[in-house]
Amino acid sequence: MDDHTTDQTRKPRADAVRNRERVLEAAKAVFNAGGPEASLEAVAKRAGVGIGTLYRHFPTREDLFEAVYRREVEQLSELAEQLKNGDPVDALRRWLHSGVEFVATKKGMVAALALAVQSGSELHAFSFERLTKAIGSLLDRAAAAGAMRADISPEDLLRAFFGMCYMHDQPGWQSSVLRMLDVFVDGLRVQPVVKAKVRAAAKPAKPAAKRKR
């Protein structure tokens, strides 16, 4: 077997790669919507591929769910890097807003992921490490700029974020969570009046002027 044949064997064909991405993107949309439509047949139909093509890429439902989950985590990690050049508070806000879409997708396949994402699993460790690093980089940048409190950890922020997402389970919950996140992020800002008080406290007191006799 020559090198050209070996390369063709090892590398997936371009159309296969495109089909896989189409399936993942379609699965994200279908699982995000949730409900009775969250089936593999609905995913294949939305992706414009046959059910056989879907199963060639993802032999089991769990394989597809895990691939979508990992892809969402990777995209959130990449988004944190892309947002590093803008306003630090706005960057954190935008990342958290994108995280709501991630949670919506996860909710649509929560039953299938229940075992895979249980505490201590490899997938849980993978997602926790990536998401903590991503949100930590944005939080550190905002704190270093003096725009946000420095006494909150990435883990605290993630717990608060997921708490907001999972305490809402009614239709339209995303809108409520987005409003709450805006209030939450604004509450973490270092307010100008606080900074002014800090500067005033740092200045040495002026000696009292001597009264003329």
Domains in the chain (CATH in brackets) are 11-59 (1.10.10), 63-190 (1.10.357.10)
Phi, psi of 210 (to 5 degrees): -75, 135
Please report which confidence band the pLDDT of residue 115 belongs to, taking 50, 70 and 90 as the band edges: very low
The model carries a pTM of 0.74
Residue 33's pLDDT is 77
Answer with the residue of higher pLDDT: 113 or 19. 19
User: Is residue 91 within 8 Å of 141, Cβ to Cβ?
Assistant: yes
When pLDDT is averaged across residues 162-174 and rounded to a whole number, the result is: 85
pLDDT reading at 94 higher than 70: yes
| Of 22-31, 99-108, 144-153, 182-191, the least confident | 99-108
CA atoms of 63 and 182, how far apart (whole Å): 35
When pLDDT is averaged across residues 133-157 and rounded to a whole number, the result is: 94
